[in-house]
Amino acid sequence: MNLSKMVVATLALVSLSANAADYKAPRGPGGVHPDLNGVWQALNSANYDIEMHTASHSMQLREGPHGPLPAVKTLYLGAVGAVPPGLGVVVGGKIPYTPEGLAKKQENKANWIDRDPEVKCFLPGIPRATYMPQPFQIFQSADSVFMAYQYAGAVREVYMQDPGEAPVDSWMGWSAGRWEGDTLVVEVTGQYDSTWFDRAGNHHSDKMKVTERYTPMSPYHLQYEATIEDPLTFTEPWTISMPLYRRMEDNAQLMEFRCVEFVEELMYGEWRRNPLPRTIQ
């Protein structure tokens, strides 16, 4: 790229940033807060790995006592099993693991196909639900916010009045929301330690607190940030950041994705009266 083109591109980026900073979103129900209603989706590779990563291949299906797929031998699936490269969404580039946390992450990554809760169709938790490669929908009224996710029919209510501590831990956690100007801030606690951040084995404990921030930047995108605090796993809080894009198709809506039916053999095959053969003919 020559110098003149670089200058033009830089000026265009500066102009876009200024416009985003000056953007005033239409008011939502009640006329006070910005309207976040809509179907949104992340367009990145964070579900593979939230840190910066090169393209690789991780889809190796191995025979085992119960799976993952009883009828499949060791198999490489070519481009179907490829991991696309990604710039990462972690602010600063690296997750500040404790030595023990990093060791567990590396062990998880080496055993991804057996351990990733997504493979087993468990609910994704927060923040992973936000950047899975499927859309989610925000339902906003004058005094309440509800979020529904296409993946596995996951849902959560954002309590806009302090609900107190989570009564029990759950897959999607306990969400308490508030407005800071035009930014919806959601604090999520009470999540199982079984959810991961991605397919690369990045993990947390049940003491994790996630503080999400949804800020409208244009009619077509939100800026999403989530700050992670977990002293059992990380040496300090850290943040992920990414844009979320509005789905603009006519009649944009969530479709049904009951992923359990696609992993029934993995989850329940060991209880078959007559087990399936464990090799491919």
DSSP state of 27: B
Note whether residue 82 is domain-resident.
Answer: no
Q: Residue 11 pLDDT > 70, yes or no? A: no
Model confidence band, residue 82 (pLDDT cutoffs 50, 70, 90)? confident
Note whether residue 279 is domain-resident.
Answer: no
Alpha helix stretches (DSSP H) within 39-127: 99-110, 112-115
The CATH number linked to 179 is 2.40.128.20
CB atoms within 10 A of CB 91: 12
Calculate mean pLDDT across residues 254-280.
Answer: 66
As for how many domains the chain has, the answer is 1
The predicted structure's pLDDT at residue 66: 47
Note whether residue 249 is domain-resident.
Answer: yes
What's the pLDDT tens digit per position in 36-58? Answer: 999 999 999 999 999 999 998 76
Q: ∠ CA 164-169-175 to the nearest 5 degrees?
A: 45
The predicted structure's pLDDT at residue 273: 67
What's the pLDDT tens digit per position in 199-237? Answer: 999 999 999 999 999 999 999 999 999 999 999 999 999
Note whether residue 97 is domain-resident.
Answer: yes
What's the rounded Cα separation, in Å, for the pair 96 and 202?
11
Calculate mean pLDDT across residues 254-277.
Answer: 69
Calculate mean pLDDT across residues 190-204.
Answer: 97
Note whether residue 141 is domain-resident.
Answer: yes
DSSP state of 30: T
Residue-range definition of the domain harbouring residue 130: 25-50+88-259
What's the rounded Cα separation, in Å, for the pair 174 and 201?
23
What's the pLDDT tens digit per position in 103-129? Answer: 999 999 999 888 999 988 899 999 999
Residue 212, H or E segment = strand 209-218
Give me the chain's average pLDDT, please. Answer: 86
